[in-house]
Amino acid sequence: MDATVFAAYAAAQLADIAAILTQHGPAGGACCACGRPHPCPHVETLLRYRTHYQRCLTQTRQPQPRVD
Ligand SMILES: [Zn+2]
């Protein structure tokens, strides 16, 4: 997978994560919107993946050192 393909993959993953995160969040009391106890373990996992893909995208966008 080259950098361009990976960047597109990571961006798609981030969009999916953002969409899924809209289904979670504090829903009053001690519950997440998904019905699990808050903080929801799914949110923690999604946020970890989001950080991972954001970091990968940042590194992918770094200009590559020239080798002349
Ligand atoms: Zn949840």
pLDDT digits (tens, 9 = 90+) for 47-59: 999 999 999 888 8
Query: Model confidence over 17-53: pLDDT tens digits?
Result: 999 999 998 988 899 999 999 889 999 999 999 999 9
Residue 43's pLDDT is: 92
In 10 A of CB 52, how many CB atoms? 14
9 alpha carbon – ligand 1 mean position (Å):
24
State the number of CA atoms in the 13 A half-sphere of 18 facing the CB: 8
Ligand 1 centroid to residue 15 C-alpha, Å = 17
Q: What is the pTM of this model?
A: 0.77
Q: How remote is the CA of residue 64 from the centroid of ligand 1, in Å?
A: 39
CA of 44 to the centre of ligand 1 (A): 9
pLDDT band at 1 (very low <50, low <70, confident <90, very high): confident
